[in-house]
Amino acid sequence: MAFFLETLFGGLMAGMLYSLVALGFVLIFKASGVFNFAQGAMVLVAALCMARFSEWIPLWTGLQSKFLSNMLAFAVSVAFMFVLAWLIERLVLRHLVNQEGVTLLMATLGITYFIDGLGQTIFGSDIYKIDVGMPKDPMFILDSIFEGGVLINQEDVIAAVVAAVLVAALSLFFQKTGTGRALRAVADDHQAAQSIGIPLNRIWVIVWCVAGITALVAGIIWGSKLGVQFSLTTVALRALPVIILGGLTSVPGAIIGGLIIGVGEKLSEVYLGPMVGGGIEIWFAYMLALVFLLFRPQGLFGEKIIDRV
Amino acid sequence: MFYRENGQFKTSYRADQQIFAIAQDRWAILVLIAFAALGVPFLADEYLFRAILIPFLILSLAALGVNILVGYCGQISLGSGAFMAVGAYMAYNTYIRVEGMPLIVALLSGGFFATLVGMFFGIPSLRVKGLYLAVATLAAQFFCDWAFLRVGWFTNNNASGSVSVSNLSVLGWNIDTPLQKYWFCLGFLVVFGLLAKNLVRSAIGREWMAIRDMDVAAAVIGIRPVYAKLSAFAVSAFIVGVAGALWGFVHLGAWEPAAFSIDRSFQLLFMVIIGGMGSIMGSFFGAAFIVVLPIFLNQFLPALGALAGVEISTATVAHAEAMIFGALIVWFLIVEPHGLAKLWSIGKQKLRLWPFPH
């Protein structure tokens, strides 16, 4: 039982991290109808930027305080993601308005190649560390109920809290601010939003910035867990089943979907994996999402698909 | 002036329905095929065969298959690499497990098994559409990657998942030299190209296009979506599977699952989009573009660096290559979202009117 709970908690934490990446996808898809394959590359480049600047800033300025240099690096990374978002809107999306979904998808794949190349040219392509002072020690909970307690990672708990805070902040931003309202209007109907004077281009820049910041947060958390390296981009592929499970247009869907996928992955790996030779995590998530789609094609919380001729 | 159909009267239904209605087109295609079969061998050296021509032929075959699914039937698939892998590995298994199996039958059986897998993973297309489907087809990709790596039977119990074939021959004709491989692939491509061209002009091709344009409307006028979608998946997976088998047997010789990773799926989709969706010709253009571009960048960038007096390290070249590749793709999508085939048809249209455009 304790082992089961341990796996379950591990899955929930992993799921929270998937949700973070999935959030970026959902935000952009909602606001611009672009299925952004570059989200993984954005996670990588944001993490690279953060890692390198937190290394460079003390070298350049002689800052001693780790906290301060991390904060500065964070600010620089945010600025970097802003510039990136602005450039993407300016140079790519603006020219591809009204194209088919698949063309936009391919364009974001092109952006993926570009960002991968750019990030590694500027920041180097080794494995880097991000150290934002997250505690790494495992801890035991519930040891009054089970013998030996249940082992969980403090790091994971913090990551989950950060993710929860980010989600709360995002939903506040979407529900309570004027910009958030404009974003929701654009998500509903591009033309109607434009006709009441919402500037589409600016909204897109904003939404790509927000997605960039979620990418940065995801990158910092994943990066401090696994090290910042090229394989971070595959995180995006792990997050895809999350969004089709949760629904492409739903923020809560990304969270719940992430949790389901995370738990499903871990449980299947532990309990089914040994039977078939292991390593089933990645395709199991997709199969889970696929089977789910057969019953509910729009995902858990997606908008109902209505076919009209 | 030279390219118009004036004076070419059709006196039978047969003549009216031929693939290339204009005599000049027919001649051009015949000349092109003759040149590819007889002229190219005199002009190309071994490097050109190995690095460009053979990959181009095989990948255009695969792009043709993907184009049937994505371009003609409108079902976006990111699992084409998996179908290639199924083709390659199942062809391998048929080839080594059955004594005296002829090569061509083995390759086609690879296509057959790819068809089965393709139809299985095509089932979600009956429920989900568009981008949801694209993500759903990734399931095929990851499942096949895993299966060929972990299930020993497929790779004859080789731990690393790599397999190899040697001593290929068809009816006593050995396929060893690059030239022979080139001819072999060319033969496949011509046959499948003609078949595909005919298929998309037939009733079933029209059904696919109706489904692509609007599936509800197509269903209303009596096209069965189940049949149309699954047949598109089947035909596409068959062609892609045969291409995968050729890629493994003829181009690589020895391969492992990584040869058919998700990057391959993206590459094939790029070919279709850049070449032109819903165009047989476009598949060839797209394949040529995607095969040649990285090789060109790879050769060109260090030369450019040397010219500017800068020593560029291999890592930087690789990154710059990725950047330029990505930027070119985006640029291309912006200036010509309908692909190279569109440019081709505009050119043809203009040529027909030339020199009196009004």
Complex prediction ipTM: 0.82
Structural domain containing residue A37: 2-295
Separation between Cα atoms, residue B64 and residue B193, nearest integer Å: 8
pTM of the full predicted structure?
0.88
Separation between Cα atoms, residue B332 and residue B326, nearest integer Å: 10
- A108 assigned to some structural domain: yes
| pLDDT tens sequence across B262-280 | 888 988 988 888 888 888 8
- A305 assigned to some structural domain: no
Residue reference for tokens 């991000």: A130
Task: Inform me whether the pLDDT recorded for A303 exceeds 80.
Answer: no
- A271 assigned to some structural domain: yes
Q: Find, in chain B, the residue whose alpha carbon is nearest to that of A234.
A: B262
Residue B345: exposure state from Cβ atoms within 10 A (0-12, 13-18, ≥19): middle
Phi and psi torsions of A138, nearest 5°: -75, 155
Q: 281-340 in B: which are within 8 Å (CB) of A?
A: 315-316, 319-330, 333-334, 337
Looking at this protein, which amino acid is placed at residue A155? Answer: E
The residue ranges of DSSP E strands in chain B, in sequence order, are 163-164, 169-170, 173-174, 254-255
pLDDT at B27: 87
Reduced to 3 states (helix: H, G, I; strand: E, B; else coil), residue A139 is: strand
Task: Inform me whether the pLDDT recorded for A147 exceeds 70.
Answer: no
Separation between Cα atoms, residue B185 and residue B59, nearest integer Å: 10
Mean pLDDT, range B182-209, rounded to an integer: 91
Domain count, chain A: 1
| pLDDT tens sequence across A201-250 | 888 888 889 889 988 988 888 888 777 788 777 777 888 888 888 887 77
Q: Find, in chain A, the residue whose alpha carbon is nearest to that of B268.
A: A106
Looking at chain A, the whole-number percentage of residues with pLDDT higher than 70 is 92
- A51 assigned to some structural domain: yes
Beta carbons of A118 and B319 less than 8 Å apart: yes
- A238 assigned to some structural domain: yes
Mean pLDDT, range B27-38, rounded to an integer: 88
Q: Which has the higher per-residue pLDDT, A66 or B73?
A: B73
Question: How far is the alpha carbon of B40 from chain A, nearest alpha carbon, in Å?
Answer: 33
- A278 assigned to some structural domain: yes
Beta carbons of A283 and B139 less than 8 Å apart: yes
Task: Inform me whether the pLDDT recorded for A149 exceeds 70.
Answer: no
Task: Inform me whether the pLDDT recorded for A146 exceeds 80.
Answer: no
- A167 assigned to some structural domain: yes
- A192 assigned to some structural domain: yes
Looking at chain A, the whole-number percentage of residues with pLDDT higher than 90 is 4
Question: How far is the alpha carbon of B325 from chain A, nearest alpha carbon, in Å?
Answer: 7
Separation between Cα atoms, residue B93 and residue A152, nearest integer Å: 45
